[in-house]
Amino acid sequence: MSKDPAALDDADYAALADFRATIRIFLAFSEGEAAKAGLSPRQHQALLAIRGVPRGEATVGYLAQRLILRPHTVSELAKRLSALGLLAGEAPQGDRRKLVLHLTPKAENLLRALSAAHQQEIRRIKPLLSDLLDRFG
């Protein structure tokens, strides 16, 4: 049951502020790690989204939904990743209009290192996040 918005008190605002700050701190960490690897945050997010689904399911449309971007923006992102040697695409038999995206071995190695660093950071902040979420009842 949610609280009446008019009944929010100082503790509610403090909890929301702390939660947003913690999320932003994690995002800043993530952006920094991506930059150290030579990627933009959006490129990192795209690689992770592609790796996170079974092979053959990552299409431009899927990525557009997952990254909350327009398909033409994702197409450009895919072209840049492809130019970096991180992404390849192929049209499945029977549907030449559809392009299935997959990571190259270079991208797999890069993403493995980035993901290990992210898991370590998540483990570090997990108690803090848990405490913050508990404040919302």
Return the pLDDT at 94: 67
Tell me the three state secondary structure of residue 83: helix
pLDDT tens digit string along 41-56? 999 999 999 999 998 8
| CB-CB contact of 67 with 74 (8 Å) | yes
What residue ranges do the domains of the chain occupy? 9-134
Strands (E), the chain: 87-90, 100-103
pLDDT tens digit string along 53-88? 998 889 999 999 999 999 999 999 999 999 999 999
- Per the structure block, which two tokens stand in for 27? 């995002």
pLDDT tens digit string along 94-132? 666 778 999 999 999 999 999 999 999 999 999 999 999
Closest CA relative to residue 50, chosen from 74, 28, 76, 27: 74
Tell me the three state secondary structure of residue 103: strand
Tell the CATH topology of 9-134: Arc Repressor Mutant, subunit A (1.10.10)
Tell me the three state secondary structure of residue 102: strand
Closest CA relative to residue 47, chosen from 120, 109, 119: 109
* CA geometry: angle 39, 43, 47, nearest 5 deg: 110
What is the rounded CA–CA span in Å between residue 114 and residue 121? 11
